[in-house]
Structure 1
Amino acid sequence: MIEKKEHLYIVFENLLRIKSECSSDLFSECGLPDITVKQIEYLRMIDEHGEVTFSGLAKITRNSKPTITEMINKFVKMKCVYREKSSDDGRIFYIRLTDKGQTLARSEEAALFKLIERMAGSLDEKDVDTLIWILQKVR
């Protein structure tokens, strides 16, 4: 049984490597091959919360407002976000994702879909059905 578990480990390690390659491809396509996991996480939070202000993001991420301001300034330079002044209160700015920022925020999902496409392209329909059946058993 140990041999099979080791083999399973190698197979899953390969799948994770392929997914990582798919993520790296997306980052390179956006011109940001060196973006960090933490930066992607912050972009994901902005994406998930939609209408988020600097103080709102500070609260969500448990960071100080100056830390958030510094991070957002970096994202603006990376062309991932922009500031939008509130129409109700000119002192309030919302943090909005650009198309590039949205792509990066959703990169894990996109990388997973690319991995699935590669798997489906490597297997026949019967093998895909078998794989689905097996993976549904995992709890």
Structure 2
Amino acid sequence: MKKVFKNERLTYRLELVAQEAIRANDEIFLRETGLRIRELRVLRLIDDTPGTTFAEIAKSTGLERSLTSRIIRTLLGNGLIERENSIEDARVFLLRTTARGQNIRRIARQLSDRLEAILTHPLSEQELATLDGILERLGNWISSERYRAALAID
């Protein structure tokens, strides 16, 4: 089997796998939904949390504020989301998906399921379940206080 990774570091390998999968799928999502993966992620987050704000989206996606702003403008311009002023603070906009945005999300979800099945094809059901559990544990660990404390000690 050909060695794919030029570096054995786990974070490097995880990032490379993610980047390659996104790169390979981005054009498919654009063709089928009219949106790129990052735009669809923001649409999904808004659909999952109606009334969310720009600041909450920027924080939860980890995207730069300027990129988040451009994505939200694109979604608004395409009629996939709508915004309204917050009653508590008129400077804050509350975002929610439109019926059209919800439909695009459904299409994207079906496409995502098919593409993920292709991505994970080399793995058995057991290996996929193991990988999922490991990623869940790592995700919980890196978002924990204990992890941050361990980084501060070393």
**Contact 1:41–1:105 (CA under 8 A) maintained in structure 2:** no
The one-letter amino acid paired with 1:106 is R
The alignment partner of 1:83 has SS state of strand
Instruction: Give the aligned partner of residue 91 of structure 1.
Output: 91
Question: Aligned residues, how many?
Answer: 89
Q: How has the CA–CA distance of structure 1 residues 53 and 112 changed in structure 2, closer, same or farther, with 3 Å as cutoff?
A: closer
1:109 to 1:64, Cα distance in 2 relative to 1, 3 A: closer
Larger Rg: 1
**In 1, distance between residues paired with 2:112 and 2:41?**
16
1:44-64: CA deviation from partner (whole Å, max 9, x where unpaired): 121122221011101011123
Task: Give the Cα separation in 1 of the matches to 2:70 and 2:112.
Answer: 31
Cα offset, 1:93, TM superposition: 0.6
* TM-score, normalisation: structure 1: 0.52
Counterpart residue type for residue 90 of structure 2: G
Mapped to 2, the partners of 1:40 and 1:112 lie a distance apart of 11
Cα shift at 1:110: 4.5
- Work out the percentage of aligned pairs sharing the same amino acid: 24
Kindly report which structure 2 residues correspond to 1:1-139, keeping only aligned pairs within 5 A, or say none: 24=32, 27=33, 32=34, 35-110=35-110, 138-139=125-126
Report the CA distance shift for 1:76/1:110 in structure 2 as closer, same or farther (over 3 A): same
Structure 2-normalised TM-score? 0.48
Are 1:43 and 1:101, in contact at CA under 8 Å, matched by a contact in 2?
A: yes
Distance 1:100 1:87, change over 3 A: same
Higher relative contact order (CA 8 A, sep 6+): 1
1:53-87 C-alpha deviation (Å, 9 max, x unpaired): 01110101112333222211111111111211111
1-structure distance, mates of 2:36, 2:70: 15
Q: Which amino acid aligns with 2:101?
A: G
Matching residue's letter, 1:74? T
CA RMSD in angstroms comes to 2.8
Q: CA separation in 2, counterparts of 1:75 and 1:108?
A: 14
- C-alpha separation in 1, matches of 2:112 and 2:65: 33
CA distance in structure 1 between the aligned counterparts of 2:92 and 2:66, rounded to whole angstroms: 15
Q: Which runs of 5+ in 2 are unaligned?
A: 1-27, 115-123, 127-154
